[in-house]
Structure 1
């Protein structure tokens, strides 16, 4: 909507930044705007970005005013984000009035508005450096396949680069591979289950490389075939062996893998990649009685999310065990050898896991008769 002026003696720096989200250049009028373009390009919920997107005109009661925001970002949920970039100490009253008018206009149509100031310099520098490896030219198929196979065993970055060949040639490929799963894994804090998701996703990415499949060509049948290869019961030919010499995934590992794959491909779908697969994975089912009991306001729920990749069949429940330290306290209280034998037997077998002879009711009755619990 508005061109960038360029003249001799200009104090600000104008230019164009190649945006991986748009696959084209986006303009900027200052280093501050450039840093925020890079930040928006890395944002997982941004699917489109434009500079100087529109003119906003209004009457302030004395004269007509107009303002062109710096950027407009289209978000994955269909809404918009309007951004103005200005250092915090350089906002004049006339600028503040323009920003306030823009914020009011955005609120009326359901868009978000952000007045962006100076970013963290360390984070901005890191993003600018990583952005150089987002182009497709940094991906070499042979090095990428070897890298995804090598990361099954933890390596330091430079060790992995030397293992694959000349670090000057392999490091750009490694940094480019980080972009495939980074936007999905970046949403998690990296501990516990999230670390497990990372290992499961890396194994799946290695399999995609072996099968010569890209994110936009994967179909639901391919994911079902992958689940069958790692251990799920799938009624179909599974192709070549995978994870040769390793035990199949347990049921809990299969459930975690199914959740990881569904989340990853739904995230890809929100970015405009393979939306058809995202629709098939975004399935729903009728709630069961147990679902209604567990959920808040479960009596009014009509649907529950379902995962077509999840293992089928009843879920095995772990036996309910004694509370932490209860066994030692009971053994310290009982007096006879018979009582010690009963406590040890019930604790080792699980107080609710067996039938009526050693169930929870019999255990509590024993404790109440002794008057020790």
Structure 2
């Protein structure tokens, strides 16, 4: 595989922990943030020494909530990235995740001057009581304020994350959230259904029968409402959960969906370099101490077998509405797709979940709604 053209940086600190979150994230108060950033610099140095990058096309700083860093800490982190990844494509997409209410004008100036040109705000919902129920630390008004201040600072490419299928959420509330979100005219939306993950507060509530989630029919209605409304408002759906104005599709996320290489740095981060996937240790102290000993902070890594690479090509690539290329599959893996997945493709075409158009295989409307039933067919 070619050297990575994408970088993911994980900042595992938040103001508070949301009730649904199972990411590697810790409440920032009392955490050794500067020690973590020093360790991050050393991890990057060790990695790029062994696997030099090509010219970068995307950088994504996620979390956690990267914008809980102070302006001084933020500059330190962005300077680290600049030091080790100076070669960048002219049209690089440089994204930072942010929580509404955490992006002060002073912090935004540091972010802009550090090269970030895209902000992804975790809005989630515009219903105040739902924000409280899911454990978000911001209010509704802070979403609009943060978007406005980002644009004033000169960062015009804005994405909003929205969630559906939340406890006690109704279709009318979803419609209200969409209307208020579109009124802010962001360039991109990521719209995800709530997944109750083990180890979260929501998981324990569900175990006790205390999590009043919408039924499947209502959740399906919310997804259809999102798709229809955003299309009417000029946002094209280009992936199962993602919608954008023309030319504003996420370059970085496309790296994942196209099964391409990327660096992953920080506690709990995943990376995929030269055909090998790895995941880092999650604990902050263990992450820092390993690097202080001169070790890479890798918890687990494995060379991905050819069969799994081919499976991922379809499972990830079919999430994109543009579909996957049979010709590219053959070039990449040295054999025709129908020799490997012929039965699965035939079954899914007969079920009208997939359609074949010349060189391209893509989801049908039915397949889009039952994506998991499609993807599992490519697992052997």
Under a length normalisation based on structure 1, what TM-score does the superposition of the two structures give? 0.22
Higher RCO (Cα < 8 Å, 6 or more apart): 2
Higher strand share: 2
Under a length normalisation based on structure 2, what TM-score does the superposition of the two structures give? 0.21
Higher helix share: 1
Bigger CA radius of gyration: 1
